[in-house]
Structure 1
Amino acid sequence: MSLLDANVGAHLRQMREARLGRWQGSLDVPAHSVVLCAGLGTERDDLLSELLVRALRELDIDARRVVVGTEQDNPGPQTADLVSTVFITYPVESMLDQWQRVADELRAALPHALLVTIRLPFGETAANQNVVQQHVDMVLRSFEESLAFVVPERAAQA
Structure 2
Amino acid sequence: MGSKAQELTIEEIEKMKQESLSSKEIIDKIIKSHKSFHNKTVYSQEKYLNRKKQKFAKYFTVEYLSSSNLLQFLIDKGDIQRVLDMSQESMGMLLNLANIQSGGSYLCMDETGGLLVYFLLERMFGGDNGSKSKGKVVVIHENEHANLDLLKFANYSEKFIKEHVHTISLLVFF
Instruction: Normalising by structure 2, report the TM-score.
Output: 0.24
The higher relative CO (CA closer than 8 Å, separation ≥ 6) is in 1
Task: Please tell me whether Structure 1 or Structure 2 has the larger radius of gyration of its CA atoms.
Answer: 2
Structure with the bigger percentage of strand: 1
